[in-house]
Structure 1
Amino acid sequence: MDPLGDRLGGADQLEGVASAFAATRDGIDAMLRDRGLRRTPPELTSESLLRGAQASAVLAGSPSSVDDVRAGRGDPVAQASVRVSVELLGLVPVFARTPFQALARLHALAAAGAVPDDVVGRPRDTAAAERLRAVAGLAGEGRGALMTAALVHAELATAAPFGSADGLVARAAERLVLVGSGLDVTSLLVPEAGHLALRPAYESNLRAYAEGGRAGLQAWLLYAAEAYAAGAEASPLRDR
């Protein structure tokens, strides 16, 4: 088994994790089913992506509000996050076929203009490229969508394979998993807003994950189940 597989093997057997994700999944399914019985207009998806872009930007240090982003007045970090959100759904089939390529494109969008052109979309070194390939393979390992999204997110955010804009890439990849898995095909959840609402726990549990060990993995996954429930509460479906 590869080192990543060694660390993540049996993640669904950690105490409380499977039940936490099952409860969150039930709540998400109920919301999408009950509130989505009527036709879902594309404006709701656009609003979800906008809210997510703003929340992800704030987590990356942006001061821009939702109103700023909606009016096109966001700072450079917010603008980068919006660029990512605009192309995100178009990358779903790319992620299914060649996830490494999709992740590289996410970085190209997130880091454009902020780093030299010759490093945009490229892992920072050989070790980072190998780690990125391992992360790209997580989507095909048969775990549930929520757990896969959480693991992809944490790996990208903590390994920082690109060396810039890795947080924006991690949160966008998380949404790609949720959409591409079929859990949220119209991208109405706002997981980024869930993380922002729980920001102290988000940051502390990412640090715990980065430190390694089963305890850090368990803490991150339990946190992620809570964050995805908060992301469902932030959905524009709740406004209907």
Structure 2
Amino acid sequence: MGTPSWAGRVPGQWADLFELEGVASALVATRDGIDAVLRDRGLRRTPPEATVESLLLGAHASALLEGSTATVQQVRDGVGDEVARAAVRISTELLSLGPVLSRSPLQVLARLHTLAAAGDVDPEVLGRPRGAASAARLQALGGLLSAPGETPALLVAALAHAEVATATPFVARNGLVARALERLVLVSRGVDEKSLLVPEAGHLALRPAYESNLRAYRDGGAAGAHAWLLYAAEAYTAGAEASPLRRAAE
């Protein structure tokens, strides 16, 4: 596995990736579109059921990306396969972790992995990095997540997702952790405070591009990061379109 050239940077240096050609304009346009979706539906009047539905749809999409064959109804009924049940476990606790993310990001990552992999791996390795190199990557990511607003929120969400998904710091279920972390960043950094977007569904809708751009991020250095960030803007737009708010408006 390749190691991106920016791994281990201090938090402010991650923001340099925002200056890559087309990244700022793509992410700014995406944020504007997200804000329009949330604003147009009157966010303050949104019922809690919409958040629950968004989390459920996200759990289903993330599980499918992780290899599950469960249907949405099976996930809704709690009778899906183990991967789907793991995704639901994460979704039920996810929003409670938001206030902890900026001050204790490694604690949040450990908890996400524990939820994702409980019953599937040795309890001794739950929430623990696979080795020194994995621990170092998580420490670097923790610096990004705990930095006080120095980097645009969508950039942080995309980088957090890609770092966990490609560095695979845990022994199993890294994809579930990566996608849950991405959603949590969007919530905790104010992009989507009520968790009404479904970024996981955006990735599922664009699955071939999702998987190829993760490989590019893993192996392609700065060019791969550039491709991933441009892809992420597209995926977040698709995630906004998958929101229960859009369905309610139809």
Corresponding position of 1:84 = 90
Instruction: Tell which deviates more after alignment, 29-38 or 115-124.
Output: 29-38
Counterpart Cα distance in 1 of 2:186 and 2:37: 15
Instruction: Tell which deviates more after alignment, 1-10 or 89-98.
Output: 1-10
| 1:196 pairs with 2:204 | yes
TM-score by length of 1: 0.96
Equivalenced residues, count: 240
Corresponding position of 2:247 = 239
Corresponding position of 1:104 = 110
| 1:208 pairs with 2:216 | yes
Counterpart Cα distance in 1 of 2:185 and 2:97: 11
Counterpart Cα distance in 2 of 1:50 and 1:213: 34
Corresponding position of 2:25 = 19
Corresponding position of 1:51 = 57
Secondary structure class of the residue paired with 1:194: helix
Contact 1:36–1:237 under 8 Å retained in 2? no
Aligned partner letter, 2:233: A
| 1:114 pairs with 2:146 | no
| 1:187 pairs with 2:191 | no
Q: Which has the higher contact order (CA 8 A, sep 6+)?
A: 2
CA RMSD of aligned residues (A): 1.6
Match of 1:147 among 144, 151, 155: 155
The Cα of 1:214 is off from its aligned counterpart by: 1.5
Counterpart Cα distance in 2 of 1:30 and 1:229: 11
| 1:125 pairs with 2:131 | yes
The Cα of 1:77 is off from its aligned counterpart by: 0.1
Gaps of 5+ in 2: none
| 1:4 pairs with 2:12 | no
Counterpart Cα distance in 1 of 2:43 and 2:189: 20
Counterpart Cα distance in 1 of 2:193 and 2:15: 27
The Cα of 1:68 is off from its aligned counterpart by: 1.1
Gaps of 5+ in 1: none
Aligned partner letter, 2:173: A
Aligned partner letter, 2:162: A
Aligned partner letter, 1:108: T
Secondary structure class of the residue paired with 1:4: coil
Q: Deviations over 1:77-106 (max 9, x none)?
A: 000000000000001011122000000000
Secondary structure class of the residue paired with 2:9: helix
Percentage of matched positions with identical amino acids: 65
The Cα of 1:73 is off from its aligned counterpart by: 1.5
Aligned partner letter, 1:207: R
Match of 2:231 among 220, 223, 235: 223
Counterpart Cα distance in 2 of 1:236 and 1:188: 7
Secondary structure class of the residue paired with 1:5: coil
TM-score by length of 2: 0.92
Aligned partner letter, 1:148: V
Match of 1:60 among 59, 66, 73: 66
Counterpart Cα distance in 2 of 1:194 and 1:59: 11
Counterpart Cα distance in 2 of 1:121 and 1:39: 37
Q: Deviations over 1:123-177 (max 9, x none)?
A: 1112211211111221244111111000000000000001211000000000110
